[in-house]
C-alpha cells in the first residue's frame, strides 16, 4: 500500500502530522552520538520479522487494537447515549484507573479548553462538567464527594474497568453508589451509572446486570492501555461533544501508513526502530516525551503507561530472561526547561527526547510593547507568545543537538480530533512494533499481578490467601536503625 504525502526520507509529512528524526542521525549530531544507516541495516532481519509478526496477528485477529479505527457497530449507541446524558446531567464523573482513565483524560485535555469546568455552560456547549477520579487518595475522593454533595441528582457516573474487578475503581464505585443510595434511594441508582467493562464476565458486569445499569463492552483482546479507541475513550469524549468519528478517521489514516513495510514510509516503524537502536546499541535507557503544548500534557502521561507496561518485560517470547524496556519520562515545554533540561544537557547521555510541536494554536496572543528603556524586557514587545513558545522549543532542540543528545520531533499542524486520533494510534503502533523488535509480548503485564494479589489478600478477598503473611514478614524483618522519625508532633 502506497501512502500519499509521506515523503521518502528522514523528514516526512502527512495530513497534519510530521515526524523529523534528523537529530537522531549520526550525520547530523555526530558519529559518536547518532545512528548510522549501517546500524539500521544491521537490524534489518528484526525489522522484517517484527513486521511479519504484526501482519500475521492482524490476519488472525490477534492484533485487536488495529481493528478499532474501522469500527462502526456501537458508535451510534455511544453517541446517542452520550447526548442523552449530556442533556440530562450537569456533572459527569469517570471512575477508572490506569488504561481505563489515562486515554479519556488525554483526549479531554487535548481537545477541550483549559479550565473547562470553570467555563459558563454556554462556553462548554451546554455539556456537563467533567471530573476524573483515577486514584484512591482519600483526600481526593473526599473532596469530590464534598464538591458533588449538593447536586448528586444532577451527576452521572461512568465506571470503567476492563476486568470488572479493579480494586481501586470498585472501591470508589461503592462509595459513590452508597452516597447516591442514601440520597436518592436504591430505585434511582440505574439512572446514574453506566459501566464500561468486559462483554461477558467480571464482577462489575454482574452488578450492572443485577441493578440494571447500561453496559458498554470493551472488545475482547484489547488491553487497557490500548483501549483509547473503545468505549473507554470514545464514550466520555462524546459526552463533552468531541467528534469521535473524526478521532477514528485520524487513526484510520495513520493505520494505512502503518501497514507499509518500508520504515522510511511508515512513521511508527521508523521511530520504533530508531528508539530500539538507541537503547540496545547506544545505551539510551530513558525515553522523554516533551510536548510543547499544555493541551498535550496528559498525552505524555498516557504514553508513559503505554510504553512502560508494554515493553518492560523480564522474559522474551522464547522464555529467556531479557529485562527489556526503557523508562518513559514525561516533561512539558517550556516549563521543564527550568526543571529538567540541565540534567538532559549535562547529565548522563542516556536519554532520547521526543518533542511534540504544534504549528497553529487557537489563539494568537500579542505581547505588549512596554518598558522601552529596559533592555531585559523590551525585546519581547511586538512579538507573540506563539513566537516565544516556538523559539524556546527550537533553542532547546539546538542546545541538545550541540551537546550530542538524541531528539526527534513530531509536529502537528493543529490539535484537532483528527490529528489527535492519528497521533494516539501512531504511538500505539510504535509501541507494538518496538515490542516485537525486542522479541517480547507487548500486550501482557505479568509483573503487576504480584502486587494485585498481595493487595487482595490484605483486604480479605477470598482466593488470594498467603500474600498477607509475606507482606507482614517483609515489614517485620526491617531494622529500627534504618528508620528515622522526624518532625515529631508536640502536644
Question: Mean pLDDT in each 10-residue stretch from start to end of the chain (491 residues)?
Answer: 36 70 95 96 97 96 96 93 97 97 98 96 96 97 96 97 94 97 95 97 96 96 96 98 97 96 97 98 98 97 97 96 97 97 98 97 95 96 96 97 97 97 98 98 86 79 79 80 83 65
C-beta pairs of 442-446 under 8 Å, 24+ apart in sequence = 442/310, 442/311, 442/313, 443/223, 443/226, 443/310, 444/223, 444/313, 445/223, 445/309, 446/313, 446/314
Residue 437: is it exposed, middle or buried by C-beta count within 10 angstroms (0-12/13-18/19+)? buried
Q: Which residues pair with 20 in a beta bridge?
A: 11, 409
Whole-number Cα distances in Å, 443 to 65, 429, 452: 10, 12, 18
CA distances from 446 to 57, 195, 315, 451, 455 (A): 21, 25, 10, 10, 15
pLDDT of amino acid 325? 97
Domain residue limits, the chain? 11-60+247-438, 74-242
Measure Cα distances from 114 to 77, 94, 410 in Å: 28, 18, 22
Residue 354 and residue 329: Cα distance in Å, rounded? Answer: 10
For residues 173 and 96, give the distance between their C-alpha atoms in angstroms, rounded to a whole number: 9
The model's pTM is 0.93
- C-alpha–C-alpha distance, residues 96 and 232, integer Å: 9
pLDDT at site 143: 97
Q: Whose CA is closest to 329, among 343, 308, 358? A: 308
At 462 the pLDDT is 84
Which among 108, 129, 253, 309 is annotated as catalytic? 309
Q: Please give the pLDDT value at position 15.
A: 59
**Which strands form 215-217's sheet, in the order they lie side by side?**
129-133, 91-95, 155-160, 193-197, 215-217
- Can 338 be counted among the known catalytic residues? yes
Q: What is the C-alpha to C-alpha distance for residues 395 and 392, in angstroms, rounded to an integer? A: 5
pLDDT at 9: 37
Residues 164-177 as b or e (16 or more Cβ within 10 Å = b) = bbbebbbebbebbb
Q: Give the per-residue pLDDT at 449.
A: 75
Angstrom distance (rounded) from CA 410 to CA 254: 14
Q: How many CB atoms lie within 10 A of CB 383?
A: 14
Which residue do the cell numbers 506563539 mark?
386
Respond yes or no: is residue 309 known to be catalytic: yes
Alpha-carbon distances of 186 from 91, 189, 488, rounded to whole Å: 20, 6, 46
- CA pair distance 184, 192, nearest whole angstrom: 10
DSSP annotation string for 315-376: B-TTS-B-----EEEE--TTGGGGTTHHHHHHS-S-EEEEEEEEEE-S---BPP---TT-HH
Cross-strand bridge partners of residue 215:
195
- Matching residue, cell 514587545: 381
Check 383, 452, 467, 468 and give the catalytic one: 452
The strand pairing partners of 195, in sequence order, are 159, 215
Q: How far is 121 from 125, CA to CA, in rounded Å?
A: 6
- Give the Cα separation of 230 and 449 in Å (integer): 24
Cα-based torsion angle of the residue sequence 47, 50, 53, 54 in order, rounded to the nearest 10 degrees: -100
CATH topology match: 11-60+247-438 vs 74-242: yes
How many whole angstroms separate alpha carbon 379 and alpha carbon 367?
10
C-alpha cell at 61: 485477529
Between CA 218 and CA 222 the distance in angstroms is: 7
Q: Which CATH code for domain 74-242?
A: 3.40.50.10490
**E strands present in 74-177:** 91-95, 129-133, 155-160
Task: Identify whether 346 is a catalytic site residue.
Answer: no
Residue with cell 483524560: 105
pLDDT the model gives residue 206: 97
Tell me the CA end-to-end span of the chain in Å, nearest whole number.
75
Question: One of 338, 372, 375, 479 is an active-site residue; which one?
Answer: 338
Strands (E), 227-343: 286-291, 327-330
Answer yes or no: CATH 3.40.50.10490 is held by domain 11-60+247-438.
yes
Residue with cell 518533542: 355
For residue 412, give the H/E element and its range: strand 406-414
Amino acid at each position: 500500500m502506497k501512502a500519499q504525502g509521506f515523503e521518502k526520507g528522514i523528514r516526512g509529512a502527512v495530513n497534519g502530522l510530521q515526524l523529523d528524526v534528523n537529530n537522531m542521525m549520526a550525520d547530523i549530531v555526530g558519529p559518536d552520538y547518532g545512528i548510522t544507516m549501517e546500524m539500521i541495516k544491521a537490524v534489518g532481519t528484526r525489522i522484517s520479522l517484527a513486521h511479519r509478526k504484526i501482519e500475521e496477528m492482524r490476519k488472525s485477529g490477534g492484533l485487536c487494537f488495529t481493528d478499532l479505527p474501522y469500527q462502526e457497530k456501537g458508535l451510534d449507541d455511544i453517541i446517542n447515549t452520550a447526548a442523552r446524558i449530556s442533556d440530562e446531567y450537569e456533572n459527569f464523573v469517570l471512575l477508572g484507573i490506569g488504561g481505563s482513565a489515562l486515554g479519556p483524560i488525554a483526549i479531554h485535555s487535548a481537545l477541550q479548553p483549559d479550565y473547562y469546568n470553570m467555563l459558563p455552560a454556554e462556553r462548554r456547549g451546554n455539556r456537563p462538567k467533567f471530573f476524573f477520579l483515577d486514584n484512591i487518595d482519600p483526600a481526593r475522593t473526599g473532596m469530590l464527594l464534598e464538591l458533588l454533595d449538593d447536586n448528586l441528582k444532577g451527576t452521572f457516573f461512568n465506571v470503567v474497568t476492563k476486568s470488572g474487578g479493579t480494586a481501586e475503581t470498585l472501591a470508589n464505585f461503592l462509595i459513590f453508589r452508597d452516597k447516591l443510595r442514601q440520597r436518592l434511594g436504591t430505585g434511582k441508582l440505574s439512572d446514574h451509572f453506566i459501566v464500561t467493562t468486559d462483554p461477558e464476565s467480571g464482577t462489575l458486569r454482574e452488578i450492572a446486570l443485577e441493578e440494571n445499569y447500561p453496559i458498554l463492552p470493551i472488545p475482547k483482546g484489547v488491553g487497557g492501555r490500548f483501549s483509547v479507541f473503545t468505549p473507554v475513550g470514545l464514550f466520555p469524549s462524546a459526552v463533552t461533544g468531541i467528534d469521535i468519528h473524526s478521532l477514528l478517521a485520524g487513526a484510520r489514516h495513520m493505520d494505512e501508513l502503518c501497514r507499509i513495510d518500508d520504515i522510511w514510509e511508515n512513521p511508527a516503524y521508523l521511530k520504533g526502530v530508531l528508539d530500539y537502536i538507541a537503547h540496545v546499541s547506544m545505551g539510551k535507557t530513558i525515553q522523554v516525551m516533551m510536548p510543547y503544548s499544555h493541551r498535550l500534557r496528559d498525552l505524555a502521561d498516557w504514553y508513559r503507561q503505554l510504553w512502560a507496561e508494554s515493553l518492560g518485560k523480564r522474559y522474551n517470547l522464547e522464555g529467556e530472561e531479557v529485562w527489556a524496556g526503557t523508562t518513559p519520562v514525561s516533561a512539558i515545554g517550556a516549563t521543564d526547561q527550568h526543571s529538567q533540561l540541565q540534567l538532559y544537557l549535562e547529565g548522563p547521555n542516556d536519554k532520547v527526547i521526543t518533542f511534540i510541536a504544534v504549528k497553529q494554536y487557537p489563539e494568537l496572543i500579542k505581547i505588549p510593547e512596554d518598558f522601552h528603556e529596559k533592555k531585559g524586557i523590551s525585546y519581547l514587545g511586538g512579538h507573540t507568545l506563539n513566537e516565544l513558545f516556538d523559539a524556546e522549543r527550537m533553542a532547546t532542540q539546538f542546545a541538545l543537538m550541540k551537546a550530542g543528545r538524541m531528539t526527534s520531533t513530531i509536529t502537528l499542524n493543529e490539535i484537532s480530533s483528527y490529528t489527535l486520533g492519528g497521533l494516539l494510534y501512531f504511538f500505539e503502533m510504535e509501541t507494538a512494533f518496538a515490542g516485537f523488535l525486542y522479541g517480547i509480548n507487548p500486550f501482557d503485564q505479568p509483573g503487576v499481578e504480584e502486587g494485585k494479589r498481595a493487595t487482595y489478600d490484605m483486604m480479605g478477598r477470598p482466593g488470594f490467601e498467603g500474600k498477607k503473611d509475606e507482606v507482614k514478614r517483609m515489614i517485620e524483618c526491617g531494622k529500627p536503625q534504618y528508620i528515622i522519625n522526624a518532625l515529631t508532633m508536640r502536644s
